[in-house]
């Protein structure tokens, strides 16, 4: 049976979102300054900062993006890939 790449993308997004949500919960619940909080909730935020702005007098476009990636969101993505391959 052939699997669609859109299903893989869906599994990656859902896994990343669930991992990110778990990271936010852990950031609130873990002891402040503890090893668990420092290891699992440290984020890397790649993106365009400041956003690109194009002013065409009639139309002004602002383009930009930012990703917030933590270890738990990466683990969620890997879990999504694992589930995609085994389901």
End-to-end CA distance of the chain: 11
The tokens of 30 are what?
Answer: 């873990």
More confident residue, 16 or 39: 16
pTM of this prediction? 0.78
Task: Round to whole Å and give the CA distance between 6 and 4.
Answer: 5
Taking only the tens place, the pLDDT of each residue in 2-15 is 788 999 999 999 99
The tokens of 84 are what?
Answer: 């995609």
pLDDT of residue 34: 79
């Amino acid at each position: 049976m052939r699997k669609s790449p859109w299903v893989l993308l869906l599994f990656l997004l859902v896994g990343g979102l669930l991992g990110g949500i778990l990271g936010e919960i852990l950031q609130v619940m873990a002891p402040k300054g503890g090893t668990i909080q420092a290891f699992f909730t440290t984020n890397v935020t790649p993106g365009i900062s400041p956003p690109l702005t194009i002013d065409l007098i009639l139309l002004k476009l602002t383009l930009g993006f930012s990703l917030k990636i933590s270890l738990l969101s990466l683990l969620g993505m890997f879990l999504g890939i694992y589930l995609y391959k085994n389901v």
